[in-house]
Structure 1
Amino acid sequence: MSSKSARRRAREFALQGVYQWLISGNSVPQIEDQVQQAAGFDKADAALFTTLLRGALEAPAALEAEFAPFIDRTVAELSPIERAVLTVATYELKHHVEVPYKVVINEAIELTKSYGGTDGHRFVNGVLDKVAAQLRSVEVEARKAQTGDK
C-alpha cells in the first residue's frame, strides 16, 4: 500500500465528512468529532481537514452553484461521493489559490477513483476543469501558455 501524504489524508477525511453530512444531516461539530476519532486520522493534516470541512459546509449551495452549470443533471442527482468531491474541490479552488489548480483537480480525481463509481473520476475531472477555468482563469491561461495546451 502506498503511503499517503498528510494533505491527501486530510482531503480524504474532509470528503468523508461532507459525505456524512449529505447522508445524515449531522451537524458539522458532530461530524468533525466523529471523523477525528477515525483510524488513521492522526496521520492527516488536521488543520487542512478542519479548513476543508468547515469551508465546504459553510455555504455548500454557493459552491454547488459554481459547478452546477457544468454538470449534465441536477446537483441532487449526483452520487453523494461525486457531490462531496466536487464541493470540497470547488471550495479549495475558490478559497485556496496557494494550492495549484492542477493539484486540487488531481487530488479530487484520486479520491473519486478510490471512493466513487467506475467512471466518476472522468466526470469529476471534466467538471473541475471547467470550474478551474472559471475561478482561476489567470492561472489556467498561464499554464496553457507555458505548456502549449489548448
Structure 2
Amino acid sequence: MSLNRDDDTPPARPAKGKSATRRAARSLAMQALYQWHMAGQSLSEIEAQFRVDNDFMPVDGAYFHELLHGVARQKSEIDQAIEPLLDRPLTELDPVELAILRLSTYELMQRLDVPYRVVINEGIELAKTFGATEGHKFVNGVLDKLAPRLRAAEAGRARR
C-alpha cells in the first residue's frame, strides 16, 4: 500500500548520491510504517511487498530496512519522546503524521550521523508530500521541540 500524492507536484527527480537514496528510503519507510500502523501486517510481509512493488534502484535499501525495523523495535521509546510535545493524545494523530514523527524521532535518537536539521527538513518534506494540507507545520513544530531534547549538544552548537 503506498500513499498517493494529492497534489499536482511533479515527481521527485531520480535519486543521485547518498542523500537522494536516503530520501527515497525515508519516503518508502514512512509509507511502510503507515501500512504497519493501519493494517497491522508483519514487518517482514510489508518489507517484502515494498521491495517487489517499488523500484529499489534509487533507494538505499539497507537504510529503508533499518528505519522500518528500528522504528518498530523502539516504538515505545519513540512514542514516549513524542507524547509530551503533543497538543492531543498520540492516538488522535493523523496516521501519516504519526509515521513521519516516529521515523524522524528514530533518526534523531539513533542516527547521529544525520544532522538534526536534515532530519527535521526531511520530516517536513514528507509531510508536505503525504500529509494533510497544514500537516508539515505540525511536524515541524514537534520536531523543532524534540531535536534540542535528543540532540542537546548539536542543537546548542547550531544556536551559537
TM > 0.5 between the two? Answer: yes
**2:115 aligns with one of 76, 100, 114:** 100
Deviations 1:31-88 (A, max 9, x none): 1111111233331100110011110111212201101111101111001100000000
Equivalent position SS for 2:48: helix
Question: What are structure 1's unaligned runs of at least 5 residues?
Answer: 146-150
TM-score normalized by the length of structure 2: 0.88
**1:7 aligns with one of 11, 18, 22:** 22
**Where does 1:1-150 land on structure 2 (aligned, <5 Å)?**
1-3=11-13, 4=15, 5-145=20-160
Structure with more of its chain in helix, by fraction: 1
RMSD in angstroms over aligned alpha carbons? Answer: 1.0
CA distance in 2, matches of 1:115, 1:122: 13
CA distance in 2, matches of 1:76, 1:37: 31
Deviations 1:93-120 (A, max 9, x none): 0000010000001001000000000110
Equivalent position SS for 2:139: helix
Number of matched residues?
A: 145
Counterpart residue type for residue 75 of structure 1: L
Question: What are structure 2's unaligned runs of at least 5 residues?
Answer: 1-10
Of the structure 1 ranges 29-38 and 105-114, higher mean CA displacement relative to structure 2 is found in 29-38
CA distance in 2, matches of 1:75, 1:141: 28
Which residue pairs with 1:148 in the alignment? none
CA distance in 1, matches of 2:96, 2:56: 20
Runs of 4+ in 1 over 2 A off after TM superposition: 38-42
Residue 130 of structure 1: CA displacement? 1.0
